[in-house]
Amino acid sequence: MSDAERFLEGRWRRILASAPTRGPVSWLVEFLVFGLKQAWACVFGGALLAVIFAARLWYPEDAALARNDFLTLAAVAIQIVMIATRLETWRELRVVVLFHIVGTVMEIFKTDVGSWAYGADGFLRIAGVPLFSGFMYAAVGSYLVRVYRLFDLRFTRYPPLWVTAVLAGLIYLNFFTHHYIWDLRWVLLVAVALLFARSMMQFRVFRRVYRMPVLLAFALVALFIWFAENIATFSQAWSYPDQEDGWQLVSITKLVSWFLLMIISVVLVTWVYPPKAPAPRE
């Protein structure tokens, strides 16, 4: 935890120390703290999404620096601030960088086969893919490593790590191969459901500890990413084929892709934060 996070947590604990421990007010406090922690965990993705949306509204079309290049430089600046202020550790940055690489490789392939497209402006790009695209995957990684710390996540009946790694590899491979052979996403979805069916996640908000099925947590994060994706496509960061004649909501079926992406994401995060069992009760 960074010095800034320790300071903020200490401040909030002192402010909320006098809050009732029972009744509606105590539950409201838990709800507010949950929202604040979630917002704090999303600081990288939220800042990047805000820049993308602001650039859509106000970035000059005739600017000397292309908008895509501006977004890339802004993303780099956000990442530097995250490290400089110790909101992310160098250890966590390894996972964020790996997210960036994994995402960029998939972006290059997907744009080549026409799954979605970016504007052609800018020089900071690889094979037609602006470099800021990788930071959007990195934002997911940043959220996951931060939420792990902020909520002190613990797990019961978590699957063996080597099994989750194999499944994540198959999911990632299917993102490429389904363009040429059978699409196994539904088979993989069933495999995920069976593998994590008994897994529970424990997390601490303020005074209370809560439990949630891991599959439900995956689904909620996938839904959150889908909402963010709609904001990004509305801001013309990229577009799907059915959005070329005018923006419309991203297909709800994309939730399956984001749900499967959660498995890849979680496996990468376990590289830094191996799943811990709940602490034994005294």
Find the mean pLDDT for residues 4-16: 66
d(CA 69, CA 222): 28
* DSSP label at residue 242: G
Q: Is the pLDDT of residue 253 over 50?
A: yes
Tell me what pLDDT residue 174 has. 96
* Beta-bridge partner residues of 117: 239
Tell me what pLDDT residue 279 has. 75
Tell me what pLDDT residue 281 has. 58
Share of the chain above pLDDT 70, in %: 91
Helices marked H in 113-253 — which ranges? Answer: 132-150, 161-177, 185-196, 214-234
d(CA 97, CA 103): 10
Q: What is the pLDDT of residues 118-164, one digit of tens each?
A: 987 889 999 889 999 999 998 998 899 889 888 989 999 999 999 99
d(CA 258, CA 222): 5
How confident is the prediction for the chain on average, in pLDDT?
Answer: 88
Contact 262, 218 (CB under 8 A): yes
- Look up residue 211 and give its two tokens: 């439990």
Q: Is the pLDDT of residue 2 over 90?
A: no
Q: 18-22, 139-143, 193-197 — which one is most confidently predicted on average?
A: 193-197
Residues with Cβ within 8 Å of 163's Cβ and at least 6 positions away in sequence, in order, are 195
Tell me what pLDDT residue 233 has. 92
Q: Is the pLDDT of residue 11 over 70?
A: no
What is the rounded (10 degree) CA torsion for 125, 129, 135, 139? 170
Strands 154-156 and 200-204: antiparallel
Confidence of residue 168 (pLDDT cuts 50, 70, 90): very high
Residue found by looking up tokens 């303020």 in the block: 206
Q: Tell me the residue type at 249.
A: L
Q: What is the pLDDT of residues 179-194, one digit of tens each?
A: 999 999 999 999 999 9
Q: Tell me the residue type at 96.
A: V
Tell me what pLDDT residue 15 has. 64
Confidence of residue 282 (pLDDT cuts 50, 70, 90): very low
